[in-house]
Amino acid sequence: MNRKRRYRRGYPVALLVGFEADHVVIWQIFSQVVKLALRLELGGRRTDEKILYNFHESVVDAIKPVLKEGVRSIVVTSTPRTTYAPDFLEHVQKHHRYLIQSKRPNSANFATLVGSADDNIKVAELIKTTEFTNLIAETTSEEADQIVGSLEKHLYGNIDNSVVLYSLKEIEDTVYNREKGREIRAEYLLLTDKYLAESRQKNRIHRLLQISKNKKVKTRVVNAETSAGARISQFGGLVFFSMPTL
């Protein structure tokens, strides 16, 4: 009897938010798969300002939990000759400006792309395009630079009670002993894709990533070839830092 092959989705990379005429489909982009997260209906006509406002608000509410987990790259798409994606970004700019302010802990890097993300087939075609891969590389690189910028402040700034760890064992002890539901500290776990791929302790690292997510630690796997990845590699490819939020 053949043993069932374990399903691996990889690490989270970005969100794909695909606007259609009367609904939006939200996808989670992982390093190995794409997973449907949510479909939201418009519930009326786009010409009705109240309907459209509530629709956009529901989309913002849907992406906030993912931002809190650490994913900050969001690609917004809409079909050709429509303004659905720009209309949503205008709504974010007007009513949720904090989401695009890079210094805020739960801010995001938004990018727009023309195309449909209405179903699995269309998404599979979209993510294979050069335009999409370049866009993801650009937004995730910007995101990583922002996070590493915060790390640098903790290394060389005068921030009271900040913690920076490079040892896998020390990081495990800190994360595993974290009090569930504690929100007084903002915590980040950063590692390079090269470290993840080449480590001989993959099971430990995947367990650490999963428990970090469960305990609301923001986790990001960074391309080792980027400037942010090169900086993390100087710490051995893995770094954890935390700071008071109050």
CATH of the domain at 19: 3.30.420.60
Give the tens place of pLDDT for each residue, 132-153.
Answer: 888 888 887 877 888 888 788 7
Structure tokens at 12: 């989270």
| Residue 99: other Cβ atoms inside 10 A | 19
The reply to whether 5 falls in a domain is no
Give the tens place of pLDDT for each residue, 14-25.
Answer: 899 999 999 999
93 within 8 A of 100, measured Cβ to Cβ: yes
Claim to verify: residue 65 and residue 113 sit in the same structural domain: yes
Count of domains for the chain: 2
209 within 8 A of 217, measured Cβ to Cβ: no
Element spanning 38, H or E: strand 34-41
pLDDT: is 167 or 102 the higher one?
A: 167
In this prediction, residue 5 carries a pLDDT of 46
The reply to whether 45 falls in a domain is yes
Return the percent helix, strand and coil in the chain, to nearest 5.
45, 25, 35
Claim to verify: residue 157 and residue 105 sit in the same structural domain: no
The reply to whether 230 falls in a domain is yes
- Name beta bridge partners: 192: 222
Buried-state track 101-116, b at ≥16 Cβ within 10 A, e below 16: eeeebbbbbbbbbebb
Q: How confident is the model at residue 1 (pLDDT cuts 50, 70, 90)?
A: very low
> Which DSSP state fits 8?
-
From CA 209, how far away is CA 48, in angstroms rounded? 43
> Which DSSP state fits 3?
P
For the cut 90, the answer to whether the pLDDT of residue 38 exceeds it is: yes
Coil, helix or strand at residue 77: strand
Determine the average pLDDT of the residues in 93-120: 85
Structural domain range at position 72: 12-128
Claim to verify: residue 160 and residue 226 sit in the same structural domain: yes
Claim to verify: residue 17 and residue 45 sit in the same structural domain: yes
Closest CA to 177 of 208, 199, 202: 208
pTM: 0.74
Give the tens place of pLDDT for each residue, 101-113.
Answer: 766 656 788 999 9
The reply to whether 133 falls in a domain is no
Q: What is the DSSP string of 200-226?
A: S-HHHHHHHHHHHHHTT-EEEEE-TTS
Give me the long-range contacts of 100-107 (CB less than 8 A, separation at least 24). Answer: 102/146, 105/186, 105/245, 106/64, 106/67, 106/68, 106/72, 107/67, 107/72, 107/146
In this prediction, residue 246 carries a pLDDT of 46
The reply to whether 1 falls in a domain is no
In this prediction, residue 151 carries a pLDDT of 81
Claim to verify: residue 53 and residue 157 sit in the same structural domain: no
In this prediction, residue 6 carries a pLDDT of 46
Q: What is the DSSP string of 132-176?
A: HHHHHHHHHHHHHHHHHHHHHHHHHS--TT-EEE--HHHHHHHHH
Claim to verify: residue 117 and residue 150 sit in the same structural domain: no
Claim to verify: residue 155 and residue 109 sit in the same structural domain: no
77 within 8 A of 27, measured Cβ to Cβ: no
For the cut 60, the answer to whether the pLDDT of residue 3 exceeds it is: no
Integer-rounded Cα radius of gyration of the chain: 19
